[in-house]
């Protein structure tokens, strides 16, 4: 077992043994989560572990990482090759997705964004199989920051699954939820035309430099543009505190829990966001039909 993975497991066990939950999860014991998701589509939680300081540091490292890859295309190609090799490995099945690594869509009309999908196993795979990456400060710093950011959120996914009576959905040899961390840079020209459902068990919106841009709706049989809104936050984005939103994805449909449709609206500014996706280990998504989503395209 690698040093990176061992370190992560020690942290996880310590958190569970001492029951150190750095989130305001009391509401989980006083509400019916299924009903709550049905009525609102989301659950707000106060994150007392990471705040503005930590996420701004992440975005600063992301900028350095982007600049390095955009000015050193050979390294970008090498990272892409590492991703392609990783998704042919057994660890890819743990995440039930092929989304890993760097996606530069900054010049792709209709996308106008740059993102990175991080996971512990992808990080470990690169460090073990491509030691040359360990010599690039921009890559090392960004990966290490991602590692630190994602550490605490296993607890919240496990806690929510338990409250819903779905403890077994994360069952695997690793005994914890597979987490995929997505860091996004939206360019001023970014325009979204349609909402979407996440291919996840749960999605946790950890941070955004513009919370008002996230619009969502509870699941309905008929959805219109007017159903989408920006949730009013009870908690603030502060130095050491944040408001995070949890929503269900399409991987819970078999339990009669419907996904929350959402969209990131245009605002003509450069902004950043971080999302943690709880996946389902070795899961093959079922074919389900969901409500049609409205077109937000403004002519």
Task: Average pLDDT across each block of 10 residues of the chain; the chain has 299 residues. List them in order.
Answer: 49 37 52 91 94 96 98 97 95 94 92 96 96 97 97 92 93 89 96 94 97 96 96 92 96 95 94 98 88 82
**DSSP symbol at 233:** P
Beta bridge partners of 244: 45
At 21 the pLDDT is 40
Helices 52-71 and 137-150, interaxial angle, to 10°? 150
At 26 the pLDDT is 53
165: left (phi over 0), alpha (psi -120 to 50) or beta: left
Q: How far apart are CA 35 and CA 29, in angstroms?
A: 13
The rounded radius of gyration (Å) of the Cα atoms in the chain is 19
At 9 the pLDDT is 47
Q: How far apart are CA 204 and CA 156, in angstroms?
A: 9
Q: How far apart are CA 38 and CA 45, in angstroms?
A: 17
Q: Which residue has tokens 């998704």?
A: 87
At 27 the pLDDT is 53
Q: How many CA atoms lie within 13 A of 103 on its CB side?
A: 17
Could you tell me how far CA 223 lies from the centroid of its own chain?
24
Contact 293, 195 (CB under 8 A): yes
For the chain, which domains are there?
3-278 (2.60.120)
């Amino acid at each position: 077992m690698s040093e990176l993975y061992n370190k992560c497991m020690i942290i996880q066990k310590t958190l569970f043994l001492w029951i150190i939950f750095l989130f305001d999860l009391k509401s989980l014991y006083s509400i019916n989560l299924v009903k709550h998701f049905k009525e609102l589509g989301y659950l707000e939680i106060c994150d007392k572990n990471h705040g503005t300081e930590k996420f701004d540091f992440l975005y600063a490292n992301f900028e350095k990482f982007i600049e390095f890859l955009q000015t050193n295309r050979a390294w970008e190609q090498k990272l892409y090759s590492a991703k392609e090799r990783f998704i042919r490995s057994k660890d890819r099945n743990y995440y039930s997705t092929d989304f890993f690594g760097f996606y530069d869509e900054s010049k792709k009309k209709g996308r106008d964004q740059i993102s990175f999908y991080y996971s512990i196993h992808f990080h470990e795979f690169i460090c073990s199989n491509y030691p040359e990456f360990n010599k690039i400060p921009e890559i090392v710093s960004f990966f290490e920051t991602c590692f630190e950011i994602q550490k605490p959120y296993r607890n919240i996914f496990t806690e929510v699954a338990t409250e819903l009576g779905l403890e077994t959905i994360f069952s695997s040899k690793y005994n914890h939820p597979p987490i995929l961390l997505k860091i996004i840079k939206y360019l001023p020209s970014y325009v979204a035309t349609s909402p979407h459902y996440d291919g996840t068990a749960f999605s946790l919106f950890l941070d955004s430099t513009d919370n008002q841009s996230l619009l969502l709706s509870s699941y309905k049989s008929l959805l219109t543009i007017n159903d989408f809104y920006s949730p009013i936050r009870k908690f603030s984005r502060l130095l050491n505190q944040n408001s995070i939103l949890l929503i269900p994805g399409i991987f819970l449909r078999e339990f009669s829990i419907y996904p929350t449709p959402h969209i990131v609206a245009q605002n003509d500014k450069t902004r950043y966001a971080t999302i943690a996706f709880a996946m389902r280990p070795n899961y093959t998504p079922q074919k389900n039909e969901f409500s049609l989503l409205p077109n937000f395209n403004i002519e």
